[in-house]
A = this chain, B = another copy of it.
């Protein structure tokens, strides 16, 4: 019987594991992808105190900390969380193991929606990114494109104008559709020549020279060519929560499938907490905010266990 079972081995899950040990709560981390999405970021420059660190190195520091204090970490996938009549949880994994826990922290993160075109996987972190906040500064003075027409895509493009000399927005629909005020800000940058919008276009391929991205192939001509030279491609066509375990549990989700939490990282189900990219934070998800939510979840779970 664990005091807290943590699902997910990213910044939120590992920070929670560290805190759970500090609070003497017996804990286990079950992670499908060790280190989470952050491990994909080749350079993290916004973890306070680390001027430059690879996502992988940062995650290994957190993992080492959690292990040093006594956490168990297992590579497996949770397929089912059942709340029992006694208020405890039974957690079942793909490998067929069963765990019992008094509280559960869901820190499973999100999966970035992929374009699923040639070159996307090959040039990941070599020009292909899913996070302007993480990687934007790497493209200072360069030419980049954001793929997508949502508010998030517009925000990514706006942020990128602070670094890149030129930002294309490539969108498959008639017209990008950010929040009006962000639309206005984008149009101002269009007037300044910093942003250029290519509507009604799909990216068919991401091209490179073997080591880095050199451009994209569009499904229509733009300025007389189907090829657009680029140094970077930011894919911002949304993320998808892995909700296979969330719906049967009955945890409340927002319209986008994120778990609704309050400032105490509590969900609608007593004893179930959530942290990190899977939650409905009203700001761009960051490693530091996920780590804080993990810590908060533990502090509040500790109180919950004492009251129970």
Question: Does B22 lie within 8 Å of A49, measured CB to CB?
Answer: no
Is chain A's interface secondary structure helix, strand, loop, or mixed overall? helix
Smallest CB-CB separation from A162: which chain B residue? B24
Q: Return A236 CB to nearest CB of chain B, in Å.
A: 16
Q: Return A88 CB to nearest CB of chain B, in Å.
A: 19
- Interface assignment of A46: CB less than 8 Å from any CB of chain B: yes
Question: Does A180 lie within 8 Å of B23, measured CB to CB?
Answer: yes
Chain A contacts with B in 262-283, Cβ cutoff 8 A: 263-264, 281-283
Alpha-carbon distance between A154 and B69 when the two chains are bound, in angstroms = 19
The verdict on A137 contacting B48 (CB below 8 Å), with A181-B306, A295-B286, A306-B185 known, is: no
Q: Mark A245-268, 1 if CB is under 8 A from B, else 0.
A: 000000000000000000110000
- B-chain residues with CB within 8 Å of residue A232 when the two chains form the complex: none
Which segment of A57-65, A95-103, A104-112, A213-221 sits at the interface? A57-65
Alpha-carbon distance between A12 and B264 when the two chains are bound, in angstroms = 18
The verdict on A62 contacting B45 (CB below 8 Å), with A24-B162, A306-B182 known, is: no
- Interface assignment of A117: CB less than 8 Å from any CB of chain B: no
- B-chain residues with CB within 8 Å of residue A22 when the two chains form the complex: 45-46, 133, 137, 179, 181
Q: Return A214 CB to nearest CB of chain B, in Å.
A: 27
Alpha-carbon distance between A137 and B14 when the two chains are bound, in angstroms = 20
- Interface assignment of A51: CB less than 8 Å from any CB of chain B: yes
- B-chain residues with CB within 8 Å of residue A264 when the two chains form the complex: 282-283
